[in-house]
Amino acid sequence: MDLRVRLQTATKEAMKARDSERLSTLRLIGAAIKDREIAARTGAGDEAVLSDADLIAILSKMVKQRQESARAYEEGCRMELAEKEYNEIKVIQEYLPRQMSVEESAEAVQKAIADLGADSVRDMGRVMAELRTRHAGQMDFGAVGPMVKEKLLA
């Protein structure tokens, strides 16, 4: 099922179930998608349709924002607000692809390096770009970057 349809269906179900926390998060997702569509529309004519990859990028960004907020709340001893952020993260992650483990990420890095024939740190950008196209939304690229660099230096 299309990601956009899944989100709309989940929003309707949350309304029917009167699940206000889940509904609030799903509405935030819908608003973020609408904002991106409006931004895309101004540059691309009347109708700009976002792909599932675009939607996954939006959701990934939302998760990162909430993780940063939760950390800030924890440092400020505001545990109830941190808990709210973690609950929103759980709802958002339901619509993201499964995250790759460290071992799977290492395997994907090795395969991308071999496929591209990368042999020096100068090829790091190409390898990262290839990983982003192959595994968008499935791996933490902040953690994968040092892994790629290490493999290229070896």
Residues 116 and 145 in one domain: yes
Q: How many domains would you assign to the chain? A: 2
Are 71 and 123 found together in one domain?
no
Q: Do 24 and 76 fall within a single domain?
A: yes
Q: What range does the domain containing 88 cover?
A: 3-93
In a shared domain, residues 85 and 11: yes
**What's the whole-number mean pLDDT along residues 137-141?**
79
pTM of the entire predicted model:
0.72
Residues 70 and 114 in one domain: no
- Residue 150 CB coordination number (10 Å): 11
| 24-83 pLDDT tens trace | 999 999 999 999 988 887 765 556 678 887 888 899 889 989 999 999 999 999 999 999
Judge if 23 and 87 occupy the same domain.
yes
Distance CA 150, CA 154 (A): 6
Show the tokens assigned to 39. Answer: 């931004």
